[in-house]
Amino acid sequence: MRRGLFFLLLLALLLPCTAQAVDLELDAPAALLMEKETGEVLFAQNEHEPMEPASVTKVMTLLLTMEAIDRGAIHYDDVVTVSAYAASMGGSNVFLAEGEQITVEDLLKAVCVASGNDAAVALGEHVSGVTELFVTEMNNRAKELGMQDTHFVNCTGLPAEGHVTSAWDIAIMSRELILHHPDIRRFTTIWMDSLRGGEFQLANTNKLIRFYDGATGLKTGSTSSAGFCISATAERDGMELIAVVLKGTTSQQRFEDAKTLLNYGFSTYALHRIDAESPLPPLPVELGAADTVAVRLPEEGRTLLLPKGDVANLTQEVTLPPSVAAPVSAGQTVGALTVRSGEETLLEIPLLAAEPVPRLRWSDLLVRMLQDAFFCV
């Protein structure tokens, strides 16, 4: 019982938290707005209702592809031979022919810009060998990310019984993609391009790329049963937001809903990176090769998402022990910097040892004792 309670508490801490509620006039029945860096949810509406995502499914297809590239399993310049199955895909496609050879880079472009179902299948086959295994890996990755409302049946988003996800889950996988694989922007920010040496023209299905300031992606989708969907990303002043809209009534209305979400986020919130208000004092080291060790803040985990204007209300408290015993490792936690707004603790940042300090050897300790004795005479 205690173990189960501990797991639930841990899961609650790991999942993105939800900011204060606000009423936004949206056409779509399900929507969510998330900030990328912190994972904080700024707006949610029917966010856990399972719905058809249409081609927004391809966010997971792109995520698995980028992960395979980053671990060296596949490469941008790999040449893929298009299978008969990939070439047979209906819906949006780039008209790949069986036996056609095309690079992974061009397939990524075809998926991100034109939402090519044939290109998505070709990528899945290249990553996993067969699409069935790729879809299994999609579902496994969804579970790893905590996407509890999701079940994938294919890698394209074409209508299929039981193929569902939610606005919440789409935001989670979208965040994973843009946070850890920023190179995807090379493709998602393309407005117009071409394939096959300029013979086949591409135009981005995400019209926000041209018409919304700061748009960075990510993926549209639509079928008669799913309606008009989008996971839209945009960045301004160093803050990137993810706006998910499901089952919009028209193509233009989903873009309007996404803009409403993004406009709300950019007008209301800002990211603030925490720096120490005053220099951090060196920490005395007991029996160390050096008398003190410098203290520093970590590079990560120092960002707060705050309503604009709230930065002035922040206070800091540095907690350090009187000393630390040698040996000290570089990066060892030696204290904490606590950030508060009034009585509320917003963030606790570990303070780290900036460099290693080995323990004194017996010979060094003996020399030091003799020196102390000599100067005391």
Is residue 115 part of the annotated active site? The answer reads yes
Alpha carbons 4 and 51: distance in angstroms, whole number: 29
Q: Which of 58, 109, 247, 259 is catalytic?
A: 58
**pLDDT over 90 percentage in the chain:** 88
Q: What is the pLDDT of residues 336-349, one digit of tens each?
A: 999 999 999 999 99
Q: What is the pLDDT of residues 34-60, one digit of tens each?
A: 999 999 999 999 999 999 999 999 999
For the cut 90, the answer to whether the pLDDT of residue 12 exceeds it is: no
Is residue 341 part of the annotated active site? The answer reads no
- Give the side-chain half-sphere CA count within 13 A for 240: 19
The one-letter amino acid code at 369 reads M
Q: Which of 307, 22, 56 is nearest to 172 (CA)?
A: 56
Is residue 363 part of the annotated active site? The answer reads no
Q: Which residues sit opposite 218 in a β-bridge?
A: 232
Residue with structure tokens 């040892």?
353
For the cut 80, the answer to whether the pLDDT of residue 127 exceeds it is: yes
Q: Which of 36, 92, 109, 115 is catalytic?
A: 115
pLDDT at 121: 98
Alpha carbons 25 and 127: distance in angstroms, whole number: 41
Helix (H) or strand (E) holding 352: strand 344-353
Cβ count near 198 (within 10 Å): 8
pLDDT at 309: 87
Residue count of the chain: 377
The pLDDT-based confidence of 311 (bands split at 50, 70, 90) is confident
List the beta strands (DSSP E) in 46-188. 79-81, 101-103
Q: Six-digit token pair at 136?
A: 């299994």
Alpha carbons 123 and 105: distance in angstroms, whole number: 10
Mean pLDDT of the chain: 92
Q: Which of 76, 119, 75 is nearest to 94 (CA)?
A: 119
Q: Which of 36, 55, 109, 222 is catalytic?
A: 55
pLDDT at 15: 45
More confident residue, 335 or 8: 335
Full-model pTM: 0.87
**pLDDT over 70 percentage in the chain:** 90
